[in-house]
Amino acid sequence: MLKGRDRDAEKGRVMRALGAMSGTSLDGVDAAIVETDGHVIHAFGDSAYRPYSEAERAVLAAGLGCWSGDAVEAAADVVEAAHVELLGQFQGVDLVGFHGQTLAHDPRGRGTLQVGDGQVLAEALECPVVWDFRSADVELGGEGAPLAPFFHFACAKWAGLTEPVVFLNLGGVGNVTWVDPSCDRPEDKGALVAFDTGPANAPINDFVRERLGIDFDRDGELARKGRVETGALELFLAEPYFSRMPPKSLDRNDFPEMIGLVRELSDADAVATLTAMSAAAVAQGMIHCPKLPGQVLVTGGGRHNPVLMEMLRVSLDCPVAPVETVGLDGDMLEAQAFAYLAVRVAKGLPTSCPSTTGVRALVGGGVVSRPEED
């Protein structure tokens, strides 16, 4: 019997959905298949990754923070072409969940912008595509992020977890989902609390690209050699964002002063300090959890950094481990999330709620585009 299977949920048709995610780290596109009825995860399928070239990454980086214009159009072209190339490799798919690439996120101001046209993908892939997942949430007063919590709830059920657990995603930005798997549904009161913790990999990656011409601090080698500058760390933690109650979310570049705080340090000390900032942001965020979780399960690229993981283990009052310890794939979890959410959108189910994004009511974000019939 599949873990976490809910008898009532099995009444719905199980769909084979392909999810795709291009995250704020700008490294590439993840794609993964999930078989689900929109409630229960019945199976995980194949996955694949398509890295961005240096030229493509430069185009995407040039579009960050832009809301319109040539830079946005160029970024959209890169995103669409990369997704069509990768997703076209999969067969036997009922629908696609297409997140697109976030260029700007200002939920209390101009809104949120993910580039990439789902209709373009639907035509190219000859398959229904669910996209624009965040706009409806923002329009109803939500932060539009994070959106993976409903999937994290399903993952906790699938893994057979019974005690509260935190899923910590360390991508370009960090976010947490506190899950109580004893609840029946993700929208139930007390089932979920979610929010962005702060910058994670993005400032580290940006710094080493600027200073050293490398993409990231592989295996935490630089951070391990460095010393944390406590003064810079204290200034970082004085940011008002950390004292705000959730729900709350961030744009990739919302902490531009981080690089400035470490610019005069040596390479190793700067990276060690930026890594400590990412870990400290998570520790600050954990005070907002309703109850201490039994464990923190880490997903995203940050879990490959042993220095960051050790900093988390030292600063948190509960066990910290990669999501692989419960049988999940930390490299593909976000792509899987948008496959799962696509099925929920197709079935008219909510994808976010007040405790995950601050939206005023349950909302099922997402637009469904279908190939035009001849």
Q: What is the CATH number of the domain that holds 86?
A: 3.30.420.40
174 and 280 housed in the same domain: yes
Average pLDDT, the chain: 94
pLDDT band at 4 (very low <50, low <70, confident <90, very high): very low
Under 8 Å between Cβ of 320 and 330: no
202 and 254 housed in the same domain: yes
Q: Please report the pLDDT score of residue 253 as a whole number.
A: 83
Under 8 Å between Cβ of 203 and 255: yes
Q: Is residue 3 part of a domain?
A: no
Domain containing 194: what range? Answer: 160-326
Residues in the chain: 374
Q: Is residue 150 part of a domain?
A: no
Q: Is residue 273 part of a domain?
A: yes
Chain mean position to CA 240: 23
The CA-based diameter of the chain, rounded to the nearest angstrom, is 64
Cβ neighbors of 374 (< 8 A, separation 6 or more) are none
pLDDT band at 12 (very low <50, low <70, confident <90, very high): confident
Asked if the model's pLDDT at residue 9 lies above 70, the reply is: no
Q: Please report the pLDDT score of residue 373 as a whole number.
A: 67
- In the block, tokens 């705080």 appear at 261
106 and 213 housed in the same domain: no
177 and 133 housed in the same domain: no
287 and 232 housed in the same domain: yes
Q: Is residue 354 part of a domain?
A: no
Q: Is residue 344 part of a domain?
A: no
177 and 279 housed in the same domain: yes
When pLDDT is averaged across residues 31-47 and rounded to a whole number, the result is 98
Amino acid (1-letter code) at residue 290? P
CB burial of 33-46 (b: ≥16 within 10 Å; e: otherwise) equals bbbbbbbbbbebbe
Q: Is residue 30 part of a domain?
A: yes
Asked if the model's pLDDT at residue 341 lies above 80, the reply is: yes
Q: Are strands 173-179 and 165-170 parallel, antiparallel or unpaired?
A: antiparallel
283 and 223 housed in the same domain: yes
Asked if the model's pLDDT at residue 348 lies above 90, the reply is: yes
Q: Is residue 80 part of a domain?
A: yes
Beta strand ranges found along the chain (DSSP E): 15-22, 28-36, 41-51, 95-106, 111-115, 129-131, 165-170, 173-179, 192-199, 296-299, 320-322, 367-369
The per-residue pLDDT for range 199-208, each reduced to its tens digit, is 999 999 999 9
Instruction: Give the separation between CA 256 and CA 261, rounded to whole angstroms.
Output: 9
204 and 93 housed in the same domain: no
Is 215 exposed, middle or buried, given 0-12, 13-18 or 19+ CB atoms closer than 10 A?
Answer: middle
224 and 283 housed in the same domain: yes
Asked if the model's pLDDT at residue 8 lies above 50, the reply is: no
Q: Is residue 353 part of a domain?
A: no
131 and 195 housed in the same domain: no
Q: Please report the pLDDT score of residue 112 as a whole number.
A: 96
When pLDDT is averaged across residues 358-364 and rounded to a whole number, the result is 96
Instruction: Give the separation between CA 90 and CA 32, rounded to whole angstroms.
Output: 9
Number of domains in the chain: 2
168 and 310 housed in the same domain: yes
Both tokens of 81, joined, read 């072409």
Bigger pLDDT: 183 or 11?
A: 183
pLDDT band at 240 (very low <50, low <70, confident <90, very high): very high
Cβ neighbors of 86 (< 8 A, separation 6 or more) are 20, 29, 31, 48, 49, 50
Q: Please report the pLDDT score of residue 309 as a whole number.
A: 98
Instruction: Give the separation between CA 303 and CA 323, rounded to whole angstroms.
Output: 9
Instruction: Give the separation between CA 320 and CA 176, rounded to whole angstroms.
Output: 13
73 and 197 housed in the same domain: no
Cβ neighbors of 240 (< 8 A, separation 6 or more) are none
Q: Are strands 129-131 and 95-106 parallel, antiparallel or unpaired?
A: parallel
Instruction: Give the separation between CA 348 and CA 366, rounded to whole angstroms.
Output: 10
Is 94 exposed, middle or buried, given 0-12, 13-18 or 19+ CB atoms closer than 10 A?
Answer: middle
The per-residue pLDDT for range 318-329, each reduced to its tens digit, is 999 999 999 999
